[in-house]
A = this chain, B = another copy of it.
Amino acid sequence: MSSLLVISAHAGDFVWRAAGAIALATARGDRAKVVCLTYGERGESAKAWREGKNLAEIKEIRRAEATNAADALGAEIEFLDAGDYPLQESQELVDRLVRVYREVDPGVVLTHPLTDPYNQDHPAAARMALQARVLAQAIGYDAPGEPLGAPPVFFFEPHQPEQCDFKPDVLLDITSVFDTKRTAMESLPAQQHMWEYYIDLAKRRGVQLKRNAGPNLGLPHNTVGEAYMRLYPQVTEVLK
């Protein structure tokens, strides 16, 4: 059994962008853990603010929604409540992530890409996720547990990929778990306008997936996908 660790700036990011990968992992029997650095309470809860909710209420709503989504995906979820808009980088927060890495011992890590001119919280989360990964590898770093290996890191797709210098390295076939991803998305009713957008995106990535796989693989018409970038080179014994 392997583990998947997802480090997300706000409560909803892991759903839109990585729910397929998470559902595939749990469907295989792997452990999946999502860490939300913040609830997205200020930056991604416009509807609730317009309805007059206060900060504590909004955090609670977001927490409940994200927990439901994680449940739908069969994933654990932890909220660090670090405060968003802005998510401020700190050594304390990085240290908390080091401890998560040591505890989870992930085989794969997912996080945001390092460039996003629309949302500085996303690269901030990614920088901390990457620094914590390297620190967790050092036997000299003072935290419980064994030194980490070198799990590959994949960046999930941002909202406007081209503007974030996001060029897909990997097209992940999520057809077999797409119903689960839909259910997870529907756990976030406040952002209903995102459902259609990310269903369309999954189809679009599915079309490209089929094109890059070639007709000979016989992928079905309704193939859907998620796109990722690799930070480190792939290590393998087979080119394919």
Contact = CB atoms under 8 A, between A and B. Distances in A.
Interface in A142-163: 142, 147-152, 154, 159-163
Interface string A220-240: 000000011011111111111
A216 B235 CA distance: 13
Interface stretch (A73-81, A182-190, A205-213): A205-213
Interface string A171-185: 111001000000000
B211 A160 contact: yes
B88 A88 contact: no
Interface string A6-47: 000000000000000100100010000000000001110110
State the oligomeric state as a number of copies.
6
Contact of A118 (B118, B134, B172): B134
Interface in A107-161: 107-108, 110, 117-120, 130-131, 134-135, 138-142, 147-152, 154, 159-161
Contacts of A204: 197, 200-201, 204
A100 interface: no
Interface residues of A, number: 84
Contacts of A135: 43, 85-86
A140 B46 contact: yes
Contacts of A159: 211
A170 interface: yes
A60 interface: no
Given A86-B94, A139-B46, A162-B166, A213 B239 contact: no
Contact of A228 (B55, B176, B239): B239
Interface of A: 4, 21, 24, 28, 41-43, 45-46, 49-50, 55, 58, 85-86, 88, 91, 94, 107-108, 110, 117-120, 130-131, 134-135, 138-142, 147-152, 154, 159-163, 165-173, 176, 197, 200-201, 203-204, 207-209, 211-217, 227-228, 230-240
